[in-house]
Chain A
Amino acid sequence: MTEPIIRVKGLRKAYGEREVVGGIDLEVRAGEIFAFLGPNGAGKTTSVEILEGYRSRNAGDVSVLGEDPASSGREWRSRIGVVLQSCTMPGELTVGELFELYASYYPHANSVDETLEAVGLQEQRSVRAQRLSGGQQRRLDVGLALIGDPELVFLDEPTTGFDPSARHHAWEVISNLRELGKTVFLTTHYMEEAQFLADRVAVIVAGQIVSEGTTQTLGGRDRAPSDISFTPPAGVAPSQLPPELALAAELRDGRIHLQSQHPARTLHALASWAVDRDLDLEDLTVGRPSLEDVYLQLTEGGELRP
């Protein structure tokens, strides 16, 4: 097992009396896209800025690319790429000039042409940064983070404020980093973004990690009961269901919901009951909690229904 790219143990950070990161543990392995998901003010940016070397910490062990970011030097900085949450490059310089400037900072920079192509800005090479659209400016930021051929890329809320089409475009650029063999540490408050991009997700709420896993297993999603629901035909109440179903039935928003760990068995019982009474249950649906349901429950402090 190789050493993880990022290893965090018991990280704490307080501003005065207010603790914003309350003892978190993290591990990010080489080549994965890791999403740090949480609502605004949960401690995402503070955590990522500690990993980037911008901020000090009050407690905990932090190792990024084998070094402590708080005492790292130029050599370490040449191995990371950073996209800040908000950063507007000098509008007077062209895209090409900014790429060349940033390339000059690094000992083993990638070619400017290839990097422009990787983020889809070849056409904008001689355009001044102030004339770029919001989505293009973000791709400029991503390109500048890649120009030094980093092993690890930090992206702090890379698509906040984007319209859906710009967001999808940015996602494609970020997924391409996987093919380039980069390790990516992404913070986001969009569950959809984590689902689209991430191999693994950690959810942070009020400075604590409340769940960690793949998008399939997060919050016990893979083990959560299925939800079977239908609109009851006229004159049918939940209590008229067969006893074993009536126990699990709940009337919500005009629909009967059945939570089941054994959906095939429950459906069989339900279908037999309906066919016996010549009921069609036209809008019958079987669903699993979406990642969004799981995320909302986690971030509201609720537990998944048993």
Chain B
Amino acid sequence: MIDHRLLASQFRCDLRIFWRSPQSRYFTVLLPIVFLVIFAAIFKGRTRVDGQVVDITTYYVPGIMTLGIISASFVNLTQAIVAQRESGVLKRARATPVPASVVIASRAAVGVIVALIMSALLLVIGRVAYGVRVPGSTMPGLIIAVVVGAAAFCCIGFAVSTRIGTAEAAAPVTNLIVLPLYFISGVFVPEDQIPSFLRGIAAVFPIRHLAQALRIPFIHPHGAGIAAGDLLIVAAWGTVALVLAARTFQWSPRTA
């Protein structure tokens, strides 16, 4: 079993590192908010998605939530893990009695907590600025989607970190992975404007499924708001990534 006192002290430090890093504050926290405001200002009117016609802002709030969650979990975590590995921090921790599980769980917890905070922030902005609402009945479904998505993308982050050799390469590599997928997965561009072959490619990857799972609670107010199929695909990606990460995770710097 994991030592909760130890996990709490590690988590406090990892969360402080997150908030005190300008890169986290600008790219993970500020950028999704700026993107929501810009997209809502550029694109007007309505869009057709999942057989429903919805206001474009109702489309973009869960879309940019996808961006916020993936930035907080996958992008930020991968960069932090590679940086801490290459600077020797992870290696140093391995020579102390702190269990590996505490170091890993703490960093993942930061990803999930920041993803929840970003989602709440975007939800509030969506409601206040654009009148986008989530019915109480589907709110639990939305929270489940945020947590499952963030946890899965943390696992993907741990797996991808093992493939990146230097701290300098972490930002370009993670952005190269997510940026094209954001465009074809309906995060930046409404789904009805994406050619079907690109949607088909996007359907293989987890970003489109997370975006769909986050959208359901907004546009289907009468169900439970749980897109079980999409969440299962996201969770499957996370599980496979976790198994890969557990096999290949590295604690010592690659560049010595």
Chain A interfacial positions (CB closer than 8 Å to B): 52-54, 74-75, 77-78, 80, 82, 84, 86-90, 92-93, 97-98, 100-102, 104-107, 128, 144, 148
Contacts and interface: CB of A to CB of B under 8 A. Distances in A.
A98 B96 CA distance: 13
B91 A87 contact: yes
Interface in B86-110: 87-89, 91-99
Contact of A84 (B17, B88, B97): B88
B44 interface: no
Nearest to B83: A90
A293 to B, nearest CB: 32
B95 A80 contact: yes
A97 B17 CA distance: 11
- Of listed A80, A86, A104, residue having the most chain B CB within 10 A: A104
Given A54-B95, A74-B99, A78-B97, A86 B17 contact: no
A106 B17 contact: no
B95 A92 contact: no
Contacts of B91: 54, 84, 87
Given A93-B13, A93-B16, A86 B95 contact: no
B252 interface: yes
A92 B96 contact: no
A198 B45 CA distance: 77
A97 B92 contact: no
Contacts of A82: 92, 95
Interface in B11-60: 13, 16-17, 20-21
B97 A86 contact: no
A84 B20 CA distance: 25
A54 to B, nearest CB: 7
- Of listed B9, B17, B87, B97, residue having the most chain A CB within 10 A: B97
Nearest to B252: A54
Nearest to A100: B9
A243 to B, nearest CB: 59
A220 to B, nearest CB: 35
A140 B106 CA distance: 23
Interface residues on B, range: 20 to 34
Given A53-B95, A84-B92, A92 B87 contact: no
22 contacts: A52-B95, A54-B91, A77-B96, A82-B95, A84-B88, A84-B91, A86-B88, A86-B253, A87-B91, A87-B92, A89-B87, A90-B17, A92-B20, A93-B13, A93-B17, A98-B13, A101-B9, A101-B10, A104-B6, A104-B9, A104-B10, A128-B20
Contacts of B247: none
B19 to A, nearest CB: 8
B96 A106 contact: yes
A292 to B, nearest CB: 28
B97 A106 contact: yes
B97 A54 contact: no
B255 to A, nearest CB: 10
Contacts of B256: 86
Given A75-B97, A92-B16, A105-B93, 4 more contacts: A88-B87, A90-B13, A105-B96, A148-B96
Contacts of A74: 97, 99
Contacts of B166: none
B5 interface: yes
A38 to B, nearest CB: 17
A101 B88 contact: no
B84 to A, nearest CB: 7
- Of listed A52, A100, A102, residue having the most chain B CB within 10 A: A102
Contacts of A54: 91, 94-95, 252
Contacts of A75: 97
Contacts of B13: 90, 93, 97-98, 101
Contacts of A101: 9-10, 13
B89 A88 contact: yes
**Leading 8 A-B pairs by shortest Cβ distance:** A87-B88, A92-B20, A82-B95, A104-B9, A74-B97, A88-B87, A105-B98, A105-B96
